Amino acid sequence: MKTNNSYKKTKITLIVVGLVIAIMLTSAGSARAATWTQKTPMPTARWDLSTSVVDGKIYAIGGLGGLKKVEEYNPATDTWTEKADMPTGRIWLAASAVDGKIYAIGGDTNWPGGTTIATVEEYDPATDTWMQKADMPGPRGALSTSVVNGKIYAIGGYHNHSGSPVSTVEEYDPATDTWTQKADMPTARSWPSTIVVDGKIYAVGGYTTSAGLPTVEEYDPVTDTWTKKADMPAPGTPSTSVVDDKIYAFGGGARRGGPPLWSLFEYDPATDTWTVKDDMPVRMQGMGTSVVGGKIYVIGGSSAPYPFSPYLSTVWEYDTGLGVPSPDFNGDGVVDGADISIMVDHWHTDEPSCDVAPAPWGDDIVDVQDLIVLSEYLLEDIYDPTLVAHWALDETEGDIAFDSAGINDAFVVGGPVWQSDGGLVDGALQLDGVDDVVVAGPVLNPAYGPFSVLAWIRGGAAGQTVISEPGGVNWLSADPLEGSLMTKLTSPGRFGGPMLSQTNITDGNWHRIGLVWDGLNRTLYVDSIAVAQDTQDRLGGSDNGLYIGTGKAMAPGTYFSGLIDDVRIYNRVVIP
């Protein structure tokens, strides 16, 4: 008899809900802290660029001396790719994406001495091509654009660089390539930042002639009306992005020609209130901010006052602590009974890794809503953008171990033997304990924020290492006396030191070992059990790459003798 898929999912959900409600376990959870992580720099340093997102990739467009340059950033692989130049180079433009295409609007052809323009050009990332579109009704620079219901709203700015700010609002319809005049913004300003929450556009900050504004005004495109909202805690020209229906305002300048700001403010439109957050890692203004996967990427800009040189190529990833958690709680690439068990263990807590409903950010309680979401992923492989490297080690020959999560394919050195059906998860790699090793490039710097590193192993001996950082420290190894799991990845301060478990991993059985750092605690796992934990104020680390199967210096006795399988590294907390 054929069974409806929806019915099967509902049946699974009811079974799981019944199981968990019967157990009703409670245990202490932990809130996820906001974190900053530095990512691969943009190839071209620039200030006052514009950034837009299409299909999970960020496009950095224009900037500084009238650049035509377009570069694509892929957060999943932390890599940059050069794309086709914009036909008209410019600074102080605005760009927004509609239906997979980016519209670059207005700006100045150069600075100093450039011309303010009305030019509109459409970029199609799928074909890497540009097309001329209908000009704005008049030239404008230092404006901001936002999208509601497929239409772009161009707000504020100036008509020429030496002129006064304007309150102009014009609506562009890409479907008809036409412009329509809308109600003026109450407060004329240049360099405002506009952002959309629930179909309303919020114009935040900006300049009058020279002074920064704290002003926030809300525009409703349906009624073509403006409403005054609560001021920012301080005046400025921030860059803004939205996560969980909250607006985050980054840096900017308090006055023209003044120093950039460190500030980060959070605005909740539902309550019309502002919260002062911890400062950014560096002063910044003129940067682009875009959201992918619940994380905000702060790109380029300048940390210097007028004339704002040198320009930045830096990319900072800001995790508000409210990002979308993965339903693959234990980091094995599939949602199954093990993940159900983890959810049971954290039932009625605020464990962030299990709080996956309501979409997209959860509600600080693991309950039936989360089970319903989990059931929709049961027995499915999932895409997880927090998986920054995954060496399945399922190859059958050759000297390359392919990274299925990104671009960090690793070199296999010394002639280890591929075991195509000898792993715990499909194939595995047999290392001889003499000179066999897998060498990978930079994947993740432990100093930048939470992470998890996991691997299956069988065999080994006391003193041997599974994963290490060349010239740095051993991440996962067997201690030289008993063969118990240990790590030397620790705080660089005087209170740092190795962490040793009492659990042997060299007994010839398969074991899944792991090290998890949540920003405060480091925890060692063996076979889903936390076998050691302590608190560190921070972790040291570098971008030196990784060795799989030997110690940090490739010293004799540190080479692993046995099978290694399915090595995974996440830039989030995983509960193995």
Q: What is the CATH number for 207? A: 2.120.10.80
More confident residue, 181 or 573: 181
Does the structure show a pLDDT above 80 at 21? no
State the pTM of this model: 0.58
The mean pLDDT of 401-417, rounded to a whole number, is: 90
Residue 537 domain-assigned (yes or no) = yes
Tell me which residue of 141, 149, 156 sits closest to 104, measured CA to CA.
141
**Is 70 found in the same domain as 24?**
no
Category of 541 on φ-ψ map: left (φ > 0), alpha (ψ -120 to 50) or beta:
left
Structure tokens at 544: 């030196």
The mean pLDDT of 46-72, rounded to a whole number, is: 92
What distances in angstroms separate CA 398 from CA 347, 411, 421, 561, one per listed residue?
A: 46, 9, 16, 20
> What pLDDT score was predicted for residue 447?
80
Q: Which residues of 309-323 are buried (b: 16+ CB within 10 A; e: fewer)?
A: eebbbbbbbbbbbbb
> What pLDDT score was predicted for residue 321?
66
Is the bond into 125 cis (omega within 30 degrees of 0)? no
Burial of 502 (0-12, 13-18, 19+ CB in 10 A): exposed
CA distance 219 to 573: 39
Does the structure show a pLDDT above 50 at 500? yes
What distances in angstroms separate CA 71 from CA 60, 89, 282, 332, one per listed residue?
A: 5, 14, 23, 33
Structure tokens at 569: 């590294």
Residue 252 domain-assigned (yes or no) = yes
Other CB atoms within 10 A of residue 435 CB = 15
Structure tokens at 158: 């100036």
CA distance 446 to 459: 27
Question: pLDDT digits over 352-366, tens only?
Answer: 778 877 655 567 888
> What pLDDT score was predicted for residue 174?
97
* Percent of the chain surpassing pLDDT 70: 91
Angle between helices 5-23 and 368-375 (to 10 degrees): 140
Q: Where are the beta strands (DSSP E) in 279-347?
A: 288-292, 295-299, 315-319
Residue 575 domain-assigned (yes or no) = no
DSSP letter for 556, please.
Answer: T
Other CB atoms within 10 A of residue 43 CB = 14
DSSP 501-549: EEEE--SSSEEEEEEEE-SSEEEEEETTEEEEEEE-S-----S--EEES
**Is 395 found in the same domain as 421?**
yes
**Is 128 found in the same domain as 83?**
yes
The mean pLDDT of 1-18, rounded to a whole number, is: 46
Strand, coil or helix: 499: strand
Does the structure show a pLDDT above 90 at 133? yes
Other CB atoms within 10 A of residue 432 CB = 15
The mean pLDDT of 332-338, rounded to a whole number, is: 81
DSSP letter for 32, please.
Answer: P
Question: pLDDT digits over 460-494, tens only?
Answer: 999 999 999 999 999 999 999 999 999 999 988 77
- Provide the total of helices (H) and of strands (E) in the chain, helices listed first: 3, 40
**Is 221 found in the same domain as 89?**
yes
Residue 576 domain-assigned (yes or no) = no
**Is 10 found in the same domain as 52?**
no
The pLDDT confidence band at residue 383, using thresholds 50, 70 and 90, is: low
**Is 194 found in the same domain as 158?**
yes
Type of residue found at 300: G
Strand, coil or helix: 124: strand
> What pLDDT score was predicted for residue 325?
60
Last-in-domain residue among 319, 337, 356: 319
Does the structure show a pLDDT above 90 at 8? no
* Number of Cα atoms under 13 Å in the Cβ half of residue 527: 8
Check which CATH number belongs to the domain holding 394 and give it: 2.60.120.200
> What pLDDT score was predicted for residue 13?
42
> What pLDDT score was predicted for residue 275?
93
The lowest-confidence range among 34-43, 352-361, 424-433 is: 352-361
Question: pLDDT digits over 249-267, tens only?
Answer: 999 998 887 889 999 999 9
The lowest-confidence range among 71-85, 337-351, 386-400 is: 337-351
**Per-residue H/E/C for 164-229:** CECCCEEEEECCCCEEEECCCCCCCCECCEEEEECCEEEEECCECCCEEECCEEEEECCCCEEEEE
- Under 8 Å between Cβ of 370 and 354: yes
What distances in angstroms separate CA 212 from CA 46, 279, 490, one per listed residue?
A: 22, 19, 44
Residue 239 domain-assigned (yes or no) = yes
**Is 512 found in the same domain as 441?**
yes
Residues in the chain: 576
The pLDDT confidence band at residue 381, using thresholds 50, 70 and 90, is: low
The lowest-confidence range among 59-63, 141-145, 278-282 is: 278-282
- What distance lies between CA 409 and its chain's CA centroid? 21
Does the structure show a pLDDT above 90 at 215? yes
Q: Which residues of 51-88 are buried (b: 16+ CB within 10 A; e: fewer)?
A: bbbbeebbbbbbbbbbbebbbbbbbbbbebeebeebeb
The pLDDT confidence band at residue 572, using thresholds 50, 70 and 90, is: confident
- Number of structural domains found in the chain: 3
**Is 219 found in the same domain as 102?**
yes
Q: Which residues, at least 6 apart from 18, have a Cβ–Cβ distance to it below 8 Å?
A: none
CA distance 32 to 45: 32
CA distance 321 to 450: 11
* Average model confidence (pLDDT) across the chain: 88
**Is 429 found in the same domain as 343?**
no
**Is 333 found in the same domain as 306?**
no
**Is 264 found in the same domain as 196?**
yes
Other CB atoms within 10 A of residue 379 CB = 9
Type of residue found at 575: I
Structure tokens at 364: 């600080």
What is the Cα gyration radius of the chain? 26
Does the structure show a pLDDT above 60 at 349? yes
Does the structure show a pLDDT above 70 at 12? no
CA distance 38 to 447: 10
Type of residue found at 39: K
**Is 46 found in the same domain as 27?**
no
- Under 8 Å between Cβ of 369 and 376: no
Residue 380 domain-assigned (yes or no) = no
What is the domain extent for residue 511?
Answer: 387-570
> What pLDDT score was predicted for residue 9?
43
Residue 381 domain-assigned (yes or no) = no
Residue 345 domain-assigned (yes or no) = yes
The pLDDT confidence band at residue 339, using thresholds 50, 70 and 90, is: confident
Other CB atoms within 10 A of residue 569 CB = 28
